[in-house]
Amino acid sequence: MATATLSATLRHDTGKGVARKLRQNGNIPGVIYGHARAPQSLTVNAREFERLISRVAAGSTVIELDLGGTTARSLIREIQRHPFKKQILHVDFQEVVAGEAITLKCPIVYVGTAYGVRTEGGVLDQIMHELTIQALPSQIPDHINVDITDLHVGKALHVSDLTLPAGIKVMDDAGSTVCIIQPPKNASAEASSEIAEPEVIRAKKPADDK
């Protein structure tokens, strides 16, 4: 389980005007909710938060929020960004409690070089980049390893094929394709060019009556 720490300040003032002023002063408005906690508004420093999410997997790292005397273990549930600026507008944290399973997105890390890539000239097509899993906070993995070493061209891995750490339950459909080894592009082009055009059989025109 990956963890990180972040300082935050609880606040009572809310509204668009308050949020706008916070951003102008280099802060990000946010909220923490979950378990028996009523939603509480908070503020985090924009620079510290951006530095944090640049070095951790935001969706699967337990964040130890220092709330000025108390600590809350949480997961980042949503990061709202400006439509065309890099600015972060708002962040949602969900409190996690020991012994209480939580559902989250966990990154996939593809391990090895597929046989179909290194020997048959195929191309790895990564269909899924993360899995939706359910786990206790203490068992949340940093990522899920997916070994693709033995995959040949035309073969795929599905969610049901994955070997998962103990205590991890996958919420995605078991038949979902995780990845597939596609044939070389030139091979598919050659195959299509070799398809013979169907023979066109034309009926003989009847002889003209004279």
Domain boundaries, position 33 = 3-95
pLDDT of residue 160: 96
Report yes or no on 75 lying in a domain. Answer: yes
Helices (H), 63-154: 115-118
138 and 79 belong to one structural domain: no
CATH number for 187? 2.170.120.20
pLDDT of residue 187: 58
10 and 79 belong to one structural domain: yes
Number of domains in the chain: 2
Give how far the C-alpha of residue 103 lies from the chain's centroid of Cα atoms, to the nearest Å: 13
CA distance 28 to 48: 10
pTM for the whole structure: 0.74
Report the candidate in 121, 117, 108 with the shortest Cα–Cα distance to residue 161: 108
Which position has the higher pLDDT, 191 or 56? Answer: 56
Say whether pLDDT at 36 is over 80: no
Report the candidate in 93, 98, 104, 94 with the shortest Cα–Cα distance to residue 138: 98
Report yes or no on 206 lying in a domain. Answer: no
Say whether pLDDT at 64 is over 80: yes
Q: What average pLDDT does range 181-197 have in this prediction? A: 64
Question: Which domain-ending residue is among 76, 95, 114?
Answer: 95
Question: Which domain-ending residue is among 48, 74, 95?
Answer: 95
CA distance 210 to 207: 9
Report yes or no on 203 lying in a domain. Answer: no
pLDDT of residue 37: 80
DSSP 84: S
Question: Which domain-ending residue is among 36, 69, 95?
Answer: 95
81 and 111 belong to one structural domain: no
Report the candidate in 50, 54, 28 with the shortest Cα–Cα distance to residue 41: 28
Report yes or no on 21 lying in a domain. Answer: yes
CATH number for 59? 2.40.240.10
Q: What average pLDDT does range 161-175 have in this prediction? A: 94
